[in-house]
Structure formats: structure tokens, C-alpha cells
Structure 1
């Protein structure tokens, strides 16, 4: 298991691409196709830190209770 984890770490490191976002940019990643992370940063807590609330994008809207969450549509 340790060798497999080391190989996975090596493969991820080789495939890593750095993306630098500017103010107003958003990066959308398909979690079924990619792994992702971010470099650490020190928040300033002065109102200039980046802030993104969780977002969920789906191809088709489900009906009713999905994974214990009630979906309500309002347009």
C-alpha cells in the first residue's frame, strides 16, 4: 500500500498544473475527472481575502430528496 501511495503521489506531482486566478476569475473543475487543491495562503481578515461559498453544478436538476438534501427550485 505504501508503494502504491508513493506512485500515486509521483503521478499527481508529474501531472500538476498551476493556475493563477485574478480578481473576478472562477475555475470550474469536474470532480469526476480531476483532483485539485490549492497552495496555502495566510488570510488577512481585512475584507480583501478571497471568498467563495460552495457551489454545485449539475447537468440535470434532480427531483425531490437527493442524498438527504431537499431540492427546491425558484426562478
Structure 2
């Protein structure tokens, strides 16, 4: 959809826009959170598979879990 600037509404408002910038920011933040969870899940699965072949990989698995706990406690931007 082509969005044109409405000259009567001021410099920052667009005609045809249905969402505010804060709504877009919230949606982007939600997608970033989902991507972070999927990344941690994928990495956890990869390390678990590696640990089946090499028990020394369990050290990396523990580090990943520590990182997940730290990231969970971080405030959102």
C-alpha cells in the first residue's frame, strides 16, 4: 500500500497509517524476543546433540543455560 504524507496533518503524520510508532516498536520488540528464544532453543538442541557424542560439551551447555537466565532478567529496551 502506498502511503502519502497528508500536508494538513503536519510533518510526522501519514495518511493511511493505521498504527502508531509505539505500536510498531512494541511489535518489533515482541519479534525480537521470539527470535532470541528461538536462537537459544536451537543452540540448546545443538549443544545437547553434541553432548551425546562428546561429554566435554556439557560445559558449553551449562554456559548457555547461564546466559539464558541472564538474558531473561535483562530489562527490555
Classify the TM-score, shorter chain.
Answer: under 0.3
Higher RCO (C-alpha 8 Å, min separation 6) = 2
Q: TM-score, normalised by structure 1?
A: 0.26
Q: Which has the larger radius of gyration?
A: 2
TM-score, structure 2 normalization:
0.25
Considering fraction of residues, name the structure with more helix.
Answer: 2
